[in-house]
């Protein structure tokens, strides 16, 4: 077996030879003529001259050898539905969706925005877009109308694919009214809206615009839609990620590089083998859902388990903290991917549930989305008796930056560390002020990547190359390196530990939220004079948002009923603007916010006080009493 150190070294020192070898893991219609074009840093173009198709690699190429094998296993504990589609059946459904989209006018290069719950039709829609060369833009189902409208304006979709409703914990969330309001708010109007009616919530159809999937599917039952051969560098999809400003960033991904990156990661990192089953508990609205619910497992010839529901809810809609393990047993899951928050939820369940099911098929549990604390890692490791493999990456990277590639060489995990740099990623730690590289163990620096970034990494920000360069590549003085905006240290064995964000993005249960976006929503309330939002450590969710507000009416500070009323209105406003995910855990009212003498908000100091830590050097602080107010509030909580 190759040592991982040699494998990694080749990827950095001889990237063309390394990635040309990995490119053999997928099928190409036209071979590429150049592995990597890095003539104009920081823009990396992979596999130039080659043509391929994501849907062909995920579905069509498997028809020869495994047409009857399970491809998509759909389980909803919200509706009690459990259905398996073979590769042949998935192929037929994707073509029906592709034909429907084409009938609605979608052509190669057009955008299709997908705003859907975790249902099989959402997978059909993503794969159908890839099949016909349309660029899909999936927005997390349940995002509020304001957030959805800003994404519709940015993506300018020809068609939107939606549904009547989602469901969470048995509570119906009507999507159609949210979508209608978002379209009303948006300056861009789609030509058509294709709707899946689950029968969960009544829908008002807009004449001439709204079409039912059930109607179009019948019309295109036997249509055959060939794959559109795409240039490797053609855009496959965009996905929005929170930034430190209110304007969403559309992360743009290519086609060939992404297919190769996923195929390689399924082999080297996840040890996925054709005919086996992969279970990611994420959502298609996030990058994990794109990479490791839809594309990665299918490209690897595996069955992918797509799950709608809570980790503690059975198919009979009754509480069941063992549902995931029942599914692992039933479908012989070999690799599972989840988030530390989910494991912390399961930790509160009866530990006997981990012993109740036959989990002998499971080779590893992968966790990502937020830092994994040692007690949680130890608990699940002892319970499952399989390797618990943390991994660290971002929407921008598309696949893991730091983890353990056990299929290349078995290495032990270290609790609290996501692992070591993955092949293709030239990871460095730099001093935040001087930009000098930190080479000694346990020195704290900014985690950066040297270009060229590997295949599968974001190409740019949709329609905004300048923002891509200025946001990611110019934050370290005198260096053109990609900043992850995360602090990290590296121990003497080369394992990295992530210490938190350097910018104003917080991580709530694996979902990245820009504090500025939440602040903008709150400051729009007429009763708010000033606001600061910070992420505060939380034992269950990793972080929660906490808002500190200076009310326009100072009477709120002494009138508890007025404070409660204003807090409720603020929460409701954030819900409407950004969705429940962004809602602060608490809104605290203060007479003044801590700032420097130049007027800059001291968010890190506020965060430190909330977490009971030393607030650090406050010599530049304008009014020391401001921070004391927050200390008093937190002490009284």
Per-residue pLDDT at 619 exceeds 60: no
Least confident of 67-76, 266-275, 381-390, 518-527: 518-527
E strands, 303-401, in order: 303-308, 333-338, 364-367, 388-390
Query: Are residues 630 and 610 in contact, defined by beta-carbon separation less than 8 angstroms?
Result: yes
Query: What pLDDT was estimated at residue 242?
Result: 66
In a domain, 466, yes or no: no
What is the helix (H) or strand (E) element at residue 96, kind and residue range? helix 87-103
Same domain, 375 and 235: yes
In a domain, 438, yes or no: no
501 vs 355, more confident:
355
Query: What pLDDT was estimated at residue 244?
Result: 47
Residue where a domain terminates, one of 389, 409, 429? 409
In a domain, 493, yes or no: no
**331 CA to centre of own chain:** 25
Question: What digits encode the pLDDT tens for the residues 296-319?
Answer: 999 999 999 999 999 999 888 888
Query: Residues near 352 by Cβ (< 8 Å), separated by ≥ 6?
Result: none
235 vs 341, more confident:
235
In a domain, 483, yes or no: no
Same domain, 373 and 509: no
> DSSP of 244-277, one letter per residue?
SSSSPEEEEEESHHHHHHHHHHHHHTS---TT-E
Domain count, the chain: 2
Q: Does the N-terminal peptide bond of residue 42 adopt cis geometry, omega within 30 degrees of 0?
A: yes
Q: What is the C-alpha to C-alpha distance for residues 115 and 119, in angstroms, rounded to an integer? A: 11
**In CATH, what number is assigned to the domain containing residue 629?**
3.30.300.30
Residue with tokens 């039912």: 212
Beta bridge partners of 496: 419, 490
Query: What pLDDT was estimated at residue 290?
Result: 98
Query: Are residues 160 and 193 in contact, defined by beta-carbon separation less than 8 angstroms?
Result: yes
Per-residue pLDDT at 197 exceeds 50: yes
Question: What digits encode the pLDDT tens for the residues 244-261?
Answer: 455 779 999 999 999 999
Per-residue pLDDT at 234 exceeds 60: yes
Mean pLDDT, residues 447-453: 98
The rounded mean pLDDT for the chain is 92
User: Whole-prediction pTM value?
Assistant: 0.85
Query: What pLDDT was estimated at residue 138?
Result: 97
Query: Percent of the chain scored above 90 by pLDDT?
Result: 72
In a domain, 544, yes or no: yes
Mean pLDDT, residues 378-387: 90
In a domain, 430, yes or no: no
275 vs 501, more confident:
275
**In CATH, what number is assigned to the domain containing residue 205?**
3.40.50.12780
Query: What pLDDT was estimated at residue 581?
Result: 83
Same domain, 39 and 185: yes
Query: What pLDDT was estimated at residue 636?
Result: 61
Q: What is the C-alpha to C-alpha distance for residues 472 and 603, in angstroms, rounded to an integer? A: 21
Query: What pLDDT was estimated at residue 621?
Result: 61
Query: What pLDDT was estimated at residue 243?
Result: 54
In a domain, 85, yes or no: yes
Mean pLDDT, residues 128-147: 93
In a domain, 375, yes or no: yes
Query: Residues near 499 by Cβ (< 8 Å), separated by ≥ 6?
Result: 444, 486, 487, 488, 489
611 vs 210, more confident:
210
- Going by DSSP bridges, is the β-strand pair 230-231/51-52 parallel, antiparallel, or unpaired? antiparallel
Query: What pLDDT was estimated at residue 596?
Result: 61
Per-residue pLDDT at 530 exceeds 60: yes
Give the structural domain span for 14.
4-380+402-409
């Amino acid at each position: 077996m190759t040592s991982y150190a040699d494998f990694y070294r080749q990827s950095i020192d001889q990237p063309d030879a390394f990635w040309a070898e990995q490119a053999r893991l997928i099928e190409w219609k036209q071979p590429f003529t150049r592995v990597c074009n890095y003539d104009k840093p920081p823009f990396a173009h992979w596999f130039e001259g080659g043509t391929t198709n994501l849907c062909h690699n995920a579905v069509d190429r498997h028809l020869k050898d495994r047409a009857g094998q399970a491809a998509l296993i759909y389980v909803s504990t919200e509706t009690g539905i459990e259905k398996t589609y073979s590769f042949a059946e998935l192929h037929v459904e994707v073509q029906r969706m592709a034909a429907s989209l084409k009938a609605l006018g979608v052509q190669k290069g057009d955008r299709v925005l997908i705003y859907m719950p975790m249902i099989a039709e959402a997978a059909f829609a993503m794969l159908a877009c890839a099949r016909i060369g349309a660029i899909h833009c999936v927005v997390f189902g349940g995002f509020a109308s304001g957030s959805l409208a800003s994404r519709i304006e940015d993506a300018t979709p020809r068609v939107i694919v939606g549904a009547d409703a989602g469901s969470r914990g048995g509570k119906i969330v009507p999507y159609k009214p949210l979508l209608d309001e978002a379209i009303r708010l948006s300056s861009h109007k789609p030509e058509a809206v294709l709707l899946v009616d689950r029968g969960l919530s009544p829908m008002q159809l807009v004449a001439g615009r709204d079409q039912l999937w059930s109607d179009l599917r019948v019309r295109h039952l036997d249509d055959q839609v060939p794959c559109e051969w795409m240039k490797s560098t053609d855009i496959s999809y965009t996905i929005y990620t929170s930034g430190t400003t209110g304007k969403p960033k559309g992360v743009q991904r290519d086609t060939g590089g992404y297919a190769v990156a996923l195929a390689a990661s399924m082999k080297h990192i996840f040890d996925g083998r054709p005919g086996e089953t992969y279970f990611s508990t994420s959502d298609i609205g996030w990058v994990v859902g794109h990479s490791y619910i839809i594309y990665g497992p299918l490209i690897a010839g595996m069955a992918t388990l797509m799950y709608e529901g809570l980790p503690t809810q059975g198919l009979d809609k009754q509480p069941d903290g063992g549902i995931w393990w029942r599914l692992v047993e039933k479908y012989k899951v070999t690799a599972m991917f989840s988030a530390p928050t989910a494991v912390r939820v399961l930790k509160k369940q009866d530990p006997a549930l981990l012993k109740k099911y036959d989990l002998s098929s499971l080779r590893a549990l992968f966790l990502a989305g937020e830092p994994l604390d040692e007690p949680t890692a130890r608990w699940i490791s002892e319970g499952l008796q399989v390797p618990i493999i943390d991994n660290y990456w971002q929407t921008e990277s598309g696949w893991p930056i730091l983890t353990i590639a056990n299929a290349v060489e078995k290495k032990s995990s270290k609790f609290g560390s996501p692992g070591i740099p993955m092949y293709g990623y030239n990871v460095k730690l730099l001093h935040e002020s001087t930009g000098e590289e930190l080479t000694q163990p346990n020195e704290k620096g900014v985690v950066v990547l040297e270009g060229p970034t590997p295949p599968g990494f974001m190409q740019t920000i949709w329609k905004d190359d300048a923002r891509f360069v200025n946001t990611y590549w110019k934050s370290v003085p005198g260096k053109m390196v990609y900043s992850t905006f995360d602090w990290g240290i590296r121990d003497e064995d080369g394992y990295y530990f992530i210490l938190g964000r350097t910018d104003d993005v917080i991580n709530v249960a694996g979902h990245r939220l820009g504090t500025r976006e939440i602040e903008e929503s709150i400051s729009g309330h007429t009763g708010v004079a000033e606001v600061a939002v910070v992420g505060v450590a939380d034992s269950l969710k990793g972080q929660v948002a906490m808002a500190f507000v200076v009310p326009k009416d100072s009477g709120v500070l002494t009138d508890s009923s007025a404070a409660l009323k204003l807090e409720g209105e603020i929460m409701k406003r954030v819900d409407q603007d950004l969705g429940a995910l962004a809602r602060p855990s608490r809104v605290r009212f203060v007479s003044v916010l801590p700032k420097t003498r130049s007027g800059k908000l001291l968010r890190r100091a506020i965060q430190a006080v909330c977490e009971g830590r030393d607030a650090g050097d406050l010599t530049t602080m304008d009014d020391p009493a401001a921070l004391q107010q927050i200390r008093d509030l937190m002490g009284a909580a």
